[in-house]
Structure 1
C-alpha cells in the first residue's frame, strides 16, 4: 500500500476543506512539492456555468507559478471517493507541463486508500514542446 508523504497529504487535506463545490459537493485538494522543496496547494472552485470552474490541480499549479516556481517534483491529490481519483485530462496535461515524466503523482481518497504513479503513467504520449520544434510538412 502506498504511504503518502505526510506534508503533502496534510496540505492537500487542509485545502480540500476550502473547496467551493456547491453543485457537485465533490471537494478535491491538491498539493505540489516543487524541486526547491516548497509546497503549494489548491482546491476545486466550481461555477454554476459549467465547465467554468477550476480543478484543484490547476489551482495548486497557479499558486506555484504565482510564487515564482515552475518545476513540480511531486503532486498529491485527495478526494472523497471510494478509490483514489485521477486528475481530469486537462489537469494531466497541466501537470505534464511543469513536471518531468518521472515525477511522482500520489492519488488519495479520504478513506485512506492511495495509489502512486509517475506523470508518464498518468499521461502516456503527452503532448510537449518538442512537437512545436519541427516545421510542418504537407501530406501527399
Structure 2
C-alpha cells in the first residue's frame, strides 16, 4: 500500500469523533516529500469542531508551507462512496491550495475518486471578488 494511504488511515484512526462517531482523516503530500496529517476533531458545541481537511491545511500553513508546496490532498471516511468534503472545507481548499492541485477522495473499502480543487468548487468566491472597484 502506498504511504499516503497508510497515513490517511492513521489520520482517520486518530480522529476525535466521540459525538457523531463519524471519523475522517486527511493527508497532504508535500513537494519536499513530507506528509502532513489532519483528523476531524469534534467538540460538544458542534460549531467548534474542525474537519480533517482543514486540520491538515491549517497545520501545513502553521509550519510555513504555502500553496505551491502541496502536491495532493487525500481524504478518507467510512462512506459508501468516496468521501465528499463539506462546503466549508472546499472553500478553505480553494483559498489555501492551487485550483489545479490533485484531491483524492477515498473510503475504507478503497474506492477512489481523483479530482482537482477547482472540480470540487467551481465558480468559487475568491479574494479578487472582494476587490470590485
Same fold (TM over 0.5): yes
Q: How many pairs align?
A: 131
Aligned partner of residue 16 in structure 1, secondary structure: helix
1:13 maps to which residue?
Answer: 9
Picking from 48, 53, 58, the partner of 2:49 is 53
Aligned partner of residue 17 in structure 1, secondary structure: helix
2:72 maps to which residue?
Answer: 74
2:94 maps to which residue?
Answer: 96
Task: Supply the distance in 2 between the matched residues of 1:129 and 1:60 (Cα, whole angstroms).
Answer: 22
Deviation at 1:34, TM superposition (A): 2.9
Deviation at 1:66, TM superposition (A): 1.5
Picking from 40, 43, 58, the partner of 1:62 is 58
- Greater CA drift, 36-45 or 11-20: 36-45
Higher-helix-fraction structure: 2
Which runs of 5 or more structure 1 residues have no equivalent in the other structure? Answer: 136-140
Picking from 96, 119, 122, the partner of 1:121 is 119
2:107 maps to which residue?
Answer: 109
CA contact (8 A) 1:73 1:99 kept: no
Q: Which runs of at least 4 in structure 1 moved beyond 4 Å after TM superposition?
A: none
1:138 maps to which residue?
Answer: none
Rg bigger for which structure?
1
With the length of structure 1 as denominator, give the TM-score of the two structures.
0.87
Deviation at 1:73, TM superposition (A): 2.2
Deviation at 1:99, TM superposition (A): 1.5
2:24 maps to which residue?
Answer: 28
Aligned partner of residue 93 in structure 1, secondary structure: helix
> 1:29-44 to 2 correspondence within 5 Å?
29-44=25-40
